[in-house]
Amino acid sequence: MKVEIIQCLKVELSKSTTRLRPTILQAIINLYESGKVEFTARVVTEECLKVKSFPRDSRLPAICAGMRKAIKCGGRVIDEDRDFMEFTIRFDS
């Protein structure tokens, strides 16, 4: 199942049309490949900074939108407290 999720995320990455979404999806792929199955917008933001120079301030809506794309690949939203970057998705393993 892990391979299918990664392939699906890579397809979503290839279809990305916004400026930030490719970095966000790559961060999600990196986190998932490293064994993490649950992560918050804060964790994804930190990973984005490792992937590429990423404008950190006021990008929470973009991060949440990118994370929502992962739902198509088997992720699910488990917390939506966006005010405190606690938007959280989880992949069932």
Q: What is the pLDDT of residues 26-35, one digit of tens each?
A: 999 999 999 9
What is the structure's pLDDT at 80?
76
Token pair for residue 60? 């929470």
- What type of residue sits at position 66? G
What is the structure's pLDDT at 66?
85
Give the separation between CA 36 and CA 10, rounded to whole angstroms: 17
Q: What is the pLDDT of residues 51-91, one digit of tens each?
A: 877 666 657 778 888 888 888 999 998 887 756 567 899 99
What is the structure's pLDDT at 6?
93
User: Looking at the domain 2-91, which fold is it?
Assistant: Arc Repressor Mutant, subunit A (1.10.10)
Among residues 49, 89, 36, 46, which one has the least CA distance to residue 67?
89
Domain boundaries, the chain: 2-91
Q: Say if residue 45's pLDDT is above 90.
A: no
